[in-house]
Amino acid sequence: MIRKLINKIFFIEILQGMALTLSKLFSHAVTRQYPDERRDAMPGFRGLHALVQNADGTLKCVHCGACQAVCPSKCIRLSITKDAEGKPVKNYELELLRCVFCALCVEACPYGAIVLTEHYEYCDDSREPFRMTKPKLLRNWEAYMAGDKGEEYLKKFWLPKSEDFVEREDQAVFDKSRIEKKKASERSVK
């Protein structure tokens, strides 16, 4: 009871809090000053979208629609129209302002055709720049992921890889020629 009375009279908790505040007041700030100090994005960061191009410049996307089907915010739209010559034109649109950056489109794509880059600095004062069309998405790949960086990203973060699908010795095999070869090798061993 005496302790509570002393705390009420002398405001001990308040004085302790003020002492802590004053001790931190003149120390170096921990906060990064953003425009001057920038940090690198962590590997696998979910930033701006890009459509992947092969080394020969062809687009990996085959327009299967898996990304559109799995998108929870329905921000991806695929469509096929015809140009003046009657050839089919595949359109790919993404509304960046609706996207929740869940990366389900990246995981669902069986061809590894869409990626989330490490670029996170983009802003504008109108909606139009955030409506990503196929040319914009291809420019994003060239600007932020082209060359070795894109290949390294696909090696690290795009699974499964073809090397994940190897045969094991105890695996069932349905190819008759392989079964016959295996039996022949067993006979030659005996």
Q: What does pTM read for this prediction?
A: 0.65
Neighbours of 175 (CB within 10 A): 8
Cβ atoms of 55 and 147 closer than 8 Å: no
Domain-located, residue 107: yes
Domain-located, residue 1: no
Report pLDDT digits (tens) over 142-190. Answer: 998 888 888 888 777 776 666 777 777 777 666 667 667 777 877 777 6
Cβ atoms of 24 and 65 closer than 8 Å: no
pLDDT at 139: 93
Domain-located, residue 186: no
Domain-located, residue 120: yes
Report pLDDT digits (tens) over 17-66. Answer: 889 888 888 888 778 887 788 777 776 778 899 999 888 888 888 888 99
Rounded CA-CA distance 114/94 in Å is 11
Looking at the DSSP bridge assignments, the partners of residue 80 are 90
Rounded CA-CA distance 94/131 in Å is 6
Domain-located, residue 177: no
106 lies in which domain range? Answer: 49-161
Domain-located, residue 55: yes
Report pLDDT digits (tens) over 65-118. Answer: 999 999 999 999 999 888 888 888 889 999 999 999 998 998 888 888 898 888
**Sign of torsion, CA 109 113 114 118?**
positive
Domain-located, residue 36: no
Number of domains in the chain: 1
- Count how many Cα atoms sit within 13 Å of the Cα of residue 130 in the half-sphere of its side chain: 15
- Find the mean pLDDT for residues 110-129: 87
SS3 sequence, 43-69?
CCCCCCEEECECCCCCECCCCCCHHHH
CATH number (domain holding residue 118): 3.30.70.3270
Domain-located, residue 70: yes
pLDDT at 133: 93
